[in-house]
Chains A and B, each alone.
Chain A
Amino acid sequence: MLPNIWRNTGLLTAPTMADVLDRFFYGVPGAARNADSVWAPRVDVHETENEVVLDVELPGVDRKDVKVEVKEGVLTISGERKQERKARENGYRSVERHYGRFERTFGLGETVDAEKITAAYKDGVMTVTLPKLEKVKPREIAIEVK
């Protein structure tokens, strides 16, 4: 089921039992492992020839409250969704959305160029683009005819 390159690059691994439990209870894997964060946004990961692209759902999160960090080969997207004062003061009738601190981490391995990671935010989705290192890009090898 899991594409080969995933295993090779170490970017993501097959779901563990902890992932399965996290998904059941929190909707996304990895949610319970960060004591500091109370929710975890949903993430799609796509790969093209030259880059790995993450689409992170962060509706209603101020982009100033989002931090994207790469440290020792681990990409961390963290931040906070704050409740509107008006809503807090007047009282909720129904609350399904998550508030407070969030965090997701992804092991990058030595596949992407950490210096060239970019992030953009549009319509509540943050797109993180991770350009691949030259050495992991597919290359054609000319066959010499002798």
Chain B
Amino acid sequence: MANTLVRNSGGPAAPTFDDFVERFFYGWPSFESGSRTAWTPRTDIYETEDAFVVDIEAPGVPKDQVKVEVKNGQLTVSGERRLERKAEKESYRLERHYGAFERTFTLGETVDAEKITAAYKDGVLTLTLPKAEKARPREIAVEVK
């Protein structure tokens, strides 16, 4: 499953047993489950001819609360979703996750890290990782002798 081009080192968003227990007793996963991030956004990765595309679900996260960073061959997307709605009475059901989130991806040599771009639309952060020249498919002319 893991590929060398874009390795996904963040955990999947599937609920853990701790989530289950916390949800059962408290209604939603705890913000203090040991890690410093509260939740992990669901992420899809697909490949086109020229690039790898990473779609990260971050609904309700303001664009200026998201940080995309490349360091030592690691691409890190982090940010925070705050519970901003001031309920006059109470919030009866909180299924959404709030607090800090983070995903880290290991970049292979096939990605041109200088040219990574990010866009945010309808709650989805799309990172485009252009392939390095050497990783693109190229045709080799066959010389006829």
Contact = CB atoms under 8 A, between A and B. Distances in A.
- What band does the interface of chain A fall in when counting residues whose beta carbon is under 8 Å from B? 35 or more
Interface in A79-96: 86-87, 90-96
Contact of A47 (B42, B90, B95): B90
A123 B61 contact: yes
Interface residues of B, number: 46
Contact of B57 (A5, A6, A12, A124): A124
Instruction: Give chain B's interface secondary structure class.
Output: loop
B92 A59 contact: no
B44 A55 contact: no
Given A46-B85, A92-B46, A125-B59, A12 B95 contact: no
Q: Which of B13, B62, B88, B92 has the most CB of A within 10 A?
A: B92
Contact of B53 (A20, A61, A87): A87
Interface of B: 1, 3, 5-6, 8, 12-15, 20, 23-24, 27, 42-49, 52-53, 55, 57-62, 85, 87-97, 120, 122-124
Interface of A: 1-3, 5-6, 11-12, 20, 23-24, 27-28, 42-49, 53, 55, 57-62, 86-87, 90-98, 121, 123-125
